[in-house]
Amino acid sequence: MHQNYPVSTPIQLSQTLKALRHAAGLSQEEVGMLLGVNQQRVARIEAKPERASFEQISRLICALGGRLMLEVVPQQQANQQRAGSW
């Protein structure tokens, strides 16, 4: 069974990355060792994912046992979906 984590903002992505790491039972240092980067780099990506590249985010999610899937929704459709969620 898998779970989806819809993300629309950098803050949501930051929270999701931290939650995935905690669920995997890994520290930032352990994730850094898996990726070949230091703990500070992992902390920066978690804190400000909008400053990381798509590849870096994807590699981090894969290291945490996830898979990154991108969905692009036209703005009008996104607005209609939000309006319908009330």
Range 35-39, long-range pairs (CB < 8 A, 24+ positions): 35/59, 35/60, 35/63
pTM beyond 0.85: no
Work out the average pLDDT over 14-42. Answer: 96
**Confidence (pLDDT) at 86:** 46
Q: What is the mean pLDDT of the chain?
A: 88
Does residue 31 carry a pLDDT above 90?
yes
49, 17 in Cβ contact below 8 A? yes
